[in-house]
Amino acid sequence: MCGIVGYIGKKQAFDVVINGLQRLEYRGYDSAGLVLIQNETFLMKKTKGKVSDLREISQDLDKTAQMGIGHTRWATHGVPNDVNSHPHLSNSGELVIVHNGIIENYSAIKTMLTEKGYHFVSDTDTEVLVNLIEFMQKSSNLSITDAVRFALNEVIGAYAICVVDKKEADKIVVGRLGSPLAIGMGKDEFYIASDASPFVEFTKEAVYLDDGEMATITKEGVDVRKIADNLQVEPLVQQLQFDLDQIEKGGYDHFMLKEIFEQPKSILDTMRGRLLSSEGKIKMAGIFDHRNRILKSNRIIIIACGTSWHAGLIGEYLIEELARIPVEVEYASEFRYRNPVIYPTDIVIAISQSGETADSLAAIKMAKEAGAFIYGICNVVGSSIARISDAGSYTHAGPEIGVASTKAFTAQVTVLTMIALELGKQTGELSNEKFHKHLVEMEMLPKQVETVLKLDKEIQEIALAYKDATNCLYLGRGYNFPVALEGALKLKEISYIHAEGYPAAEMKHGPIALIDENLPVVIIATKGHYEKVVSNVQEIKSRKGKVIAIVNPGDTEVRAIADHCIEVPAVEEFLSPIINTIPLQLLSYYLAVLRGANVDQPRNLAKSVTVE
Ligand code: G6P
């Protein structure tokens, strides 16, 4: 949450910073601000609202400066308003900061600083941090780098920060703990950002700071140190693996729609080089290299948040059915605080699109300390979770910008399906013949997803009939229960229609009370538990509920009674979550568009939740 950008070099910093903030807006969009640094003066603009509002109020700004930092905010401390927007100045006006994260002990520090005569204009923890840096600097006569280091050693919490001192206006000091920070390496110019998207058009080389590291960046170079002991660190320069066009809308109205339509490719990319049906093989080094440890374990624990947690639930169904290894699926935020039993023999699969979700990261660290083996499934290459995992598989879905996760979800399920198949082969649960058959079936997924995407117009029309709905129920059984959960989550995230996902059979234990002519029920009625789902559809119809059913070709029973049917290709049940998710994504998308909602930036949400 919150995006930060910085630039020092030979270009006009304004353009780099404002365009960079626009790319990072998926991280937060309550307010935005920037400061340009020129001739030892700060030219600052900040405002409640979006980066476009910041651009608007910056029209009169002198834009010749070649150094600047900026911020797009997802509020934690203090309501989103102009005053609470970043950057924040220190009391003397000599230091300026942008910050992503939370300073947990800010209240004690604020009290101490207030006693020393400091005053605060905002409600933010960030203003406390910049004044702590100033206090350290003034009381011990320190350079800005040392003052930042001393201050960071006093704070508890999470941060990625950029700090500039007017008196040393040739450098930006940055630091990281818990919140991501990347440095783009140019020639006599450097970029700073919460992820590489703001600078990928300028350089393909990036250094990702590790937790507990800081850097002093001048036009001449980058000096990385450990915050704890000032030890110099040799920065590891990584090659960026994506291009600018991957993070632009490419003619689509929204990133979400683009990402939904990218799924045939993203699923193919996720399977590429791994699913080798002609050789009768799944090639996943992470699983193969650690197969002995995995097979010896008594259980797998899947940890995730949000949509990734739904992928985890599908993973549970897949691994238990295909490999017969017991699986538990945990919300990271619950797992980390409920004193769970963790055995050193446990395998923990951590699923995260961003690889930065604070609760997932903390849960993994806890499991790791207890001796469990951590297998990361992340989309963002080089992300924190990917780095602390013992092994793992990237999803290769490409950058996902829309806040509501779509292609990352189907890529996660694709990886989990391949893992389940490979483990099934290793445990001997799947015969060679069955394994091979499943590979061939799975290989067809991208084409089948293409077929589903052709239903776009049809789904748009169905959405029209329900745009004024206030509630919606999603039902599914077996593999498609998590799909129902995910369908409901997508709808509420972007259209603000209240939606609940339920196992179809559980409808009788509560949600049935809600059913009347005003309640649309989306029900997954593809093969697998079909007869039972037909009964559920009848129960809904006899209470006048409206039914939108996902069905397979040849269906007659559901067609005869449902209000709308969306026909998707018939696939083996273990592959059905991927296929059946796509129409639900489209339905949510069109409902949100029809209701005039901001699809890519739904209110109050952020793509990457780096605070707990
Ligand atoms: C946020 C996002 C969701 C995402 C969840 C977990 O809530 O809005 O789309 O599923 O975080 O994020 P992760 O990056 O760990 O998958």
Arithmetic mean of pLDDT, 387-404: 93
Rounded to whole angstroms, the Cα distance separating 16 from 567 reads: 46
What is the token pair recorded at 60? 């009169």
Report which protein residue has its CA nearest ligand 1's atom 4: 306
Query: pLDDT for 149-180, tens place per residue?
Result: 999 999 999 899 999 999 999 999 999 998 89
Mean pLDDT of 121-143: 96
Position 251 scores a pLDDT of 85
Question: Residue for token digits 């969306």?
Answer: 566
Task: Find the DSSP H helices in 324-406.
Answer: 332-335, 358-369, 384-388
- The answer to whether residue 2 scores a pLDDT higher than 90 is no
Supply the residues annotated as catalytic.
2, 607
Return the pLDDT at 348: 97
Q: How far is the CA of 264 from the centre of ligand 1 (A)?
A: 22
- For residue 394, the cross-strand partners are 378
Pocket test for ligand 1, best of 351, 608, 611 (most atoms within 8 A of CB): 608
Query: Are 282 and 274 within 8 A, CB to CB?
Result: yes
Ligand 1 center to 260 CA (angstroms): 16
Can you give the pLDDT at residue 273? Answer: 93
In the predicted structure, residue 466 carries a pLDDT above the cut 90: yes
Closest atom, ligand 1, to C-alpha of 405: 9
Residue 424 CA to ligand 1 center (angstroms) comes to 29
Closest CA to 176 of 121, 219, 233: 233
So what's the pLDDT on residue 36? 98
State the closest ligand 1 atom to the C-alpha of 404, by its place in the atom list counted from 1: 9
As a whole number, mean pLDDT of residues 39-49 equals 94
* pLDDT tens per residue, range 407-419: 999 999 999 999 9
pLDDT at position 340, please? 94
Which ligand 1 atom is the nearest neighbour of the CA of 305? 6
Residues paired with 565 in a beta bridge: 549
Look at 380 and 448; give whichever has higher pLDDT. 448
Average predicted confidence (pLDDT) for the chain: 94
237: closest CA among 313, 274, 173, 185? 185
3-state secondary structure of 10: coil
Ligand 1 atom with the smallest distance to the CA of 605 is 8
CA distance 108 to 254: 44
Residue 209 gets which letter from DSSP?
P
Q: Ligand 1 centroid vs 405 CA: distance in angstroms?
A: 7
Determine which helix (DSSP H) or strand (DSSP E) holds 350, and give its type and residue range: strand 347-352
Candidates 29, 179, 353: which one to mutate for ligand 1, based on the most atoms within 8 Å of Cβ? 353
Return the structure tokens found at 18.
């404002």
* Banded model confidence at residue 28, pLDDT cuts 50, 70, 90: confident
Task: Ligand 1, residue 380: give the atom nearest the CA.
Answer: 14
pLDDT of residue 250: 80
Q: How far is CA 478 from CA 308, 488, 532, in A?
A: 18, 16, 11
State pLDDT tens for residues 502-532: 999 898 898 888 888 899 999 999 998 888 8
Tokens for 363? 């849960």
Evaluate if residue 244 carries a pLDDT over 90: no
What's the whole-model pTM score? 0.83
For the record, the structure tokens of 30 come out as: 């309550």
Residue percentage of the chain with pLDDT more than 70 = 100
Distance 355 CA to ligand 1 centre (A): 9
Q: Can you tell me the mean pLDDT for 80-107?
A: 93
286 has a pLDDT exceeding 80: yes
Give the residues surrounding ligand 1 with Cβ less than 6 Å away. Answer: 305-308, 352-354, 357, 360, 403, 405, 605, 607-609
Band (pLDDT 50/70/90 cuts) for residue 253 is very high
Report whether pLDDT(562) > 90: yes
Site to substitute for ligand 1 among 195, 308, 379, 486, most atoms within 8 A of C-beta: 308
In the reported structure, the alpha carbon of residue 177 is separated from the centroid of ligand 1 by a whole-number distance in angstroms of: 20
